[in-house]
Structure 1
Amino acid sequence: MKALIASGTGHYADPWHPFPETTPELRAILTDAGFVVDVDEDVDHAMARLDGFDLLVVNAGDPWRGEDAVPAPRLSVDGLSRALDRGMGVLALHCAVASMRDYPDWAAAIGGMWVPQLSWHPPAGEIDVRVHPFPDGDALSDFTVFDEQYARLQAIGRREVVAEFTVDGERMPAAWVRTYGASRIAVDVLGHDARSYASAGHRNLVKRLARWATAA
């Protein structure tokens, strides 16, 4: 199985998320899960070269945040659409729920988005994550991780929550899976920085989400 990680640089980078630290962690996790992994540090370029890949992993920020934002190329937008139509798996990490806003299929595919001035998170810290069985019945153990807790994300369509945490007494999704046309989609809103991937439980969750997205 071949995976392509689209890692945030340029207008897909931001001051808060150290993608040069988290992308190597993701690459190591996916390699350990049996994937042959390539990394593209140009997100729009990655979307135009998805042929032959079984899994797209997006670890990138909000392209509309900075003043240097430019529209995504048509070739890239069409490339993502074609890949989803053929059934490519997708794994979206952390602030990927606020990324790729020029791609009409992205929010619809991943089933949730960060809404500026409405979505929020408390300061990063140790959090307890409760894990639920996947749709196929496979179950992982609960775990603790140092991370951010995204709250009040906009849900889009139906999804199966497979991990959650509690923010101000309210349960919020930490990870979910769903289908979008022929594609299987997995979303993990954990992964703020490298400390998140120091958690063995989180690493196991990423592996399971990647395998689910590729039916592996």
Structure 2
Amino acid sequence: MTRVLVLVGRDRYGDPWHDHAATSDAVATLLRADGHDVTLRSTFPDALDDVGPADVDLLVVNSGRGPLDGDAGAWRSFHDRRAALVDGGVPVLGVHQAANTFGDDPRWATALGGCWVEGASWHPPLGDATFRVVDDGHPVTSGLSTVTATDERYADLVVAGGSRVLVVADVEHADGTSVAHPVVWVAPGPGRVLYDALGHDVRSYASPSRQDLLRRGVAWLLGT
């Protein structure tokens, strides 16, 4: 049985607009139904104190950006341990706001292969959305053409040059043009890291095609 650890955003890595507890539970419910052993842990400074690369098979990050105030030094061990998991070869799945979390540690954006940039990245209002597969040559998206869900369509994320974009959101801009914005990509590595921008709230995880995308991502990350 594979061991999955889900980091759940709160306080420093949460916000009033995202129910990270509910969406993390939705992820856990789906993965447990597939036979995975899933542990949920909120983002406290000591959340990873007892976790090393030998203790977990997949790290899922479902947290966001809260006020980066207080004692930044108190979080140094948390970030070092998270980075050690990545460096130790533990596969990582970042969902939705994971592109806009851990902004006080630049190693995270590097590992994820991209990030949300305050003042530049944005999204249209939440609603019924279609996400388009642009690379069906990867196991995560092989045979897929679209994913539909009630969700946000992230736009103008900054994506690292070595990342492999699998899915885009077509977003209409103020000038009337439709622009394809990357929302699912594989990070450059060397380990297996996947970012999936879907998952604003539990309605996203109610979509069968969104569930399929998540399952495919997890299967690829675990090499199954």
Are the equivalent residues in 1 in contact too, given 2:89–2:192 (CA < 8 A)?
yes
Are the equivalent residues in 2 in contact too, given 1:135–1:160 (CA < 8 A)?
no
* Other-structure match for 1:40: 41
Partner residue of 1:62 out of 65, 70, 73: 65
Q: Describe the SS at the equivalent of 1:46.
A: coil
Are the equivalent residues in 2 in contact too, given 1:4–1:55 (CA < 8 A)?
yes
* TM-score relative to the length of structure 1: 0.90
Deviations 1:165-207 (A, max 9, x none): 20011111221113422x2001111100111111110011111
Deviations 1:46-91 (A, max 9, x none): 343432111111111114xx26454252222221222112210000
Deviations 1:21-64 (A, max 9, x none): 1111010122233321000012543343432111111111114x
Answer with 43-52 or 161-170: which moved more: 43-52
* TM-score relative to the length of structure 2: 0.87
Name the % identity. 35
- Total equivalences in the alignment: 213
Are the equivalent residues in 1 in contact too, given 2:154–2:169 (CA < 8 A)?
no
Unaligned runs of 5+ in 2: 173-177
Answer with 153-162 or 183-192: which moved more: 153-162
2:150 maps to amino acid: F
Q: Describe the SS at the equivalent of 2:82.
A: helix
* Other-structure match for 1:21: 22
Partner residue of 1:164 out of 147, 163, 168: 168
Matches within 5 A, 1:93-104: 93-104=95-106
* Other-structure match for 2:221: 213
* Other-structure match for 2:186: 177
1:123 maps to amino acid: P
* Other-structure match for 2:130: 128
Partner residue of 2:211 out of 200, 203, 208: 203
Partner residue of 1:144 out of 133, 148, 152: 148
Answer with 68-77 or 26-35: which moved more: 68-77
What is the alpha-carbon distance in structure 2 between the residues aligned to residue 148 and residue 104 of structure 1?
25
2:86 maps to amino acid: L
Decide whether aligned partners of structure 1 residues 193 and 113 sit closer, same or farther in structure 2, where only a CA change above 3 A counts.
same
What is the alpha-carbon distance in structure 2 between the residues aligned to residue 87 and residue 208 of structure 1?
19
Partner residue of 1:86 out of 85, 88, 99: 88
What is the alpha-carbon distance in structure 2 between the residues aligned to residue 67 and residue 46 of structure 1?
17
Deviations 1:93-114 (A, max 9, x none): 1111000112232100101111
2:102 maps to amino acid: M
Unaligned runs of 5+ in 1: none
